[in-house]
Amino acid sequence: MAVSIRTAVAGLCAGLVTALLTGGPVRAEQHEQTWDLSTGAHAPRARVALDDTTGTLSFAVSRDGRTVIEPSPVGIVTQQADLSKDLRFLHSKDRMVDERYRTRSGKRLDRRVRMKETRLSFATATGARLDLVVRASADGVAYRYALPGASGDVLRETSAFNLPADAPAWLGTYRVDNEGQFVRHTAATAPTGEYSDQALFETDGGYTLLAESDLTGAYSGARLAHDQGTGTYRIKLADDRISTDGPLVTPWRAMITGDLATVTRSTFTDDLAPASRIRDASWIEPGTVLWTWLAGGKEAGQSLAAQKAYVDYAAERNWPYEAVDAGWYYKPGEWETVDPDWQTDSWMPELVRYARAKGVGIVVWIHQRELDTPEERDRWLPTLERWGVRGVKIDFMNSEAQPMLRWYDTVLAETAAHHLMVDFHGSTIPKGIQRTWPHVMTLEGVAGEEKRTNTAAHLTTLPFTRNVIGSMDFTPGAFHRVGLRPNSDAAEVGLAVAYESGLQMFAGTPESYDQRPLARAYFDQVPAAWDDTRLLAGRPGEEAVLARRGGDRWFIGGVYAGAARTAEVPLSIGAGRWLVETIEDGPDGLVLRRQVLSGGDRLAVDVVAGGGFASIACRWRPGITTCHR
Q: SS in 3 state form for 452-468?
A: CCCCHHHHHHHHHCHHH
* 450 annotated active-site: yes
Q: What is the three-class DSSP state of 581?
A: strand
CA-to-CA separations, 492 to 38, 313, 344, 409, 495, in angstroms, rounded:
40, 20, 41, 35, 5
User: DSSP class of residue 62?
Assistant: E
List, as own/partner pairs, every contact residues 57-64 make where C-beta atoms lie below 8 angstroms and the sequence separation is at least 24, other chains included. Answer: 57/84, 57/87, 57/122, 57/132, 59/134, 59/143, 61/141, 61/205, 61/208, 61/255, 61/257, 62/205, 63/205, 63/206, 63/257, 63/258, 64/205
User: DSSP class of residue 173?
Assistant: B
Q: What is the CA radius of gyration of the chain?
A: 26
Nearest to 583 by CA among 598, 609, 603: 603
Please calculate the CA angle 368-369-373 and round it to the nearest 5 degrees. Answer: 105
Chain mean position to CA 573: 23
User: Among the options 270, 395, 444, 492, which is catalytic?
Assistant: 395
User: DSSP class of residue 181?
Assistant: P
Q: Report the C-alpha gap between 34 and 155 in whole angstroms.
A: 27
Whether the CB-CB separation of 591 and 489 falls below 8 Å is answered with no
Q: Is 215 exposed, middle or buried (0-12, 13-18, 19+ CB in 10 A)?
A: buried
Cβ neighbours for 320, distance < 8 A, ≥ 6 positions apart: 285, 287, 288, 289, 314, 359, 360, 361
The amino acid that residue 135 corresponds to is R
The amino acid that residue 180 corresponds to is G
Q: Is 13 exposed, middle or buried (0-12, 13-18, 19+ CB in 10 A)?
A: exposed
Whether the CB-CB separation of 603 and 572 falls below 8 Å is answered with no
Cβ neighbours for 262, distance < 8 A, ≥ 6 positions apart: 138, 139, 206
The amino acid that residue 607 corresponds to is V
**Other C-beta atoms lying within 10 Å of the C-beta of residue 187:** 24
Whether the CB-CB separation of 104 and 284 falls below 8 Å is answered with yes
User: Among the options 194, 312, 450, 601, which is catalytic?
Assistant: 450
Return the sign of the alpha-carbon dihedral for residues 135, 136, 137, 143: positive
Whether the CB-CB separation of 195 and 121 falls below 8 Å is answered with no
Q: What is the three-class DSSP state of 615?
A: strand
Q: Is 98 exposed, middle or buried (0-12, 13-18, 19+ CB in 10 A)?
A: exposed
Residue numbers annotated as active site: 395, 450
